[in-house]
Amino acid sequence: MIARAARTPAGLTAMVDRRAAGLPLEHVLGWAEFCGLRIAVDPGVFVPRRRTEFLVHQAAAVARQATSATGAQAVTRPGAVVVDLCCGSGAVGAALAATLDRVELYAVDIDPAAVRCACRNVAAAGGRVYVGDLYEPLPATLRRRVDVLVANAPYVPTGAIGLLPPEARIHEPRAALDGGADGLDVLRRVITAAPRWLARGGCLLVETSERQAPQIVETFACSGLISRVASSDERNATVVIGTAVVRPGPGATDPATS
Ligand SMILES: C[S@@+](CC[C@H](N)C(=O)[O-])C[C@H]1O[C@@H](n2cnc3c(N)ncnc32)[C@H](O)[C@@H]1O
């Protein structure tokens, strides 16, 4: 692959040297293959994992079958509003835009280097990219309008970072990996605030580990979202999908505002 990517013999030598020094292949090439797309990945930006393609497949299925306002009937819904939180290179959002008919796509990351990279991948898909902490930089007009909210946030427990392969541990930013003591610090914040942004019947999909899934399900329930777990043995991937319940009538408590 490196031999095919190099434009000159000197370029080839430089790329081989960087690879031999331990840089991830994708950082040497400048791109990663993800959902059949070539995603630009700059050095210092999280390399999208093949396992995360499962998150994309689940999100695409949800977007195609966004529930109707009554929640009683599933309908095809082109032009869904999609938000990719913790977007990194923007791979998830870009893949969703490529898969779905037509989407209104927004992506956010706290790391300016990731956002620069995502701008190339997501803007090509007609999306907009914001830098900041989770929902904070999103336009307020998106509140209660989001049909599909995806987050592949950091979820490695701090104590397990040292067990990661050197390519991740050394060459990917700590903020892309470290999810705090139990790995769920960022995900808890994503889930708790989600009801303020989801449309009726809208879904939040988060990637997690099989071991963490029960805690995530509990957090979804505390936030008023009905959840289910989807897993793929083939991809070694676990995704929790939470649906914003259709808001009850007047007088009842609304999880989005309480
Ligand atoms: C595991 S990487 C996933 C990147 C991308 N979603 C993917 O699947 O390739 C997590 C990303 O979350 C970002 N991140 C961490 N904390 C964040 C926060 N509070 N707000 C926004 N982004 C955050 C990191 O900068 C990193 O790019």
- Residue 118, ligand 1, Cβ within 6 A: no
Question: DSSP letters along the chain, please?
Answer: -HHHH-SSHHHHHHHHHHHHTT--HHHHHTEEEETTEEEE--TTSPPPPGGGHHHHHHHHHHHHTPBPTTSSSB---TTEEEEEES-TTTHHHHHHHHHSS-EEEEEEES-HHHHHHHHHHHHTTT-EEEESSTTTTS-GGGTTTEEEEEE----B-GGGGGGS-HHHHHHS-HHHHB--TTS-HHHHHHHHHGGGTEEEEEEEEEEE-TTTHHHHHHHHHHTTEEEEEEEETTTTEEEEEEEEPPPP-TTSPPTTT-
pTM of the model: 0.91
- Residue 227, ligand 1, Cβ within 6 A: no
Instruction: Write the CB contacts of 7 (distance below 8 Å, at least 6 apart in sequence).
Output: none
- Residue 66, ligand 1, Cβ within 6 A: no
The CATH superfamily label for domain 46-244 reads: Vaccinia Virus protein VP39 (3.40.50.150)
pLDDT at position 254 is: 43
Tens digit of pLDDT for each residue in 7-36? 888 889 989 989 999 999 999 999 999 999
**Weakest-pLDDT range from 99-103, 112-116, 154-158:** 99-103
pLDDT at position 66 is: 64
**Weakest-pLDDT range from 117-126, 171-180, 200-209, 231-240:** 117-126
The answer to whether the CB of 171 falls within 8 A of the CB of 27 is: yes
Q: What angle do CA 98, 4, 21 make, to 5 degrees?
A: 100
pLDDT at position 68 is: 37
Q: Which pair of structure tokens corresponds to residue 128?
A: 């907009």
Rounded distance from Cα 244 to ligand 1 centre (Å) = 23
pLDDT category at 70 given cuts 50, 70, 90 is very low
Tens digit of pLDDT for each residue in 128-156? 999 999 999 999 999 999 999 999 999 99
pLDDT category at 3 given cuts 50, 70, 90 is confident
For the segment 41-48, the average pLDDT, to the nearest whole number, is: 97
Q: Kindly report the protein residue whose alpha carbon is nearest to atom 27 of ligand 1.
A: 88
Please count the other Cβ atoms lying within 10 Å of the Cβ belonging to residue 251.
Answer: 5
Give residue limits of the domains in the chain.
46-244
pLDDT category at 256 given cuts 50, 70, 90 is very low
pLDDT category at 96 given cuts 50, 70, 90 is very high
Q: In whole angstroms, give the CA distance from residue 106 to residue 108.
A: 7
Q: In whole angstroms, give the CA distance from residue 117 to residue 129.
A: 10
pLDDT at position 73 is: 42
- Residue 40, ligand 1, Cβ within 6 A: no
The answer, yes or no, to whether residue 67 has pLDDT greater than 60, is no
Rounded distance from Cα 256 to ligand 1 centre (Å) = 24
Q: Which pair of structure tokens corresponds to residue 203?
A: 């879904």
Phi-psi label, residue 84: left if phi above 0, alpha if psi -120 to 50, beta otherwise: beta
End-to-end, the C-alpha distance of the chain in Å comes to 53
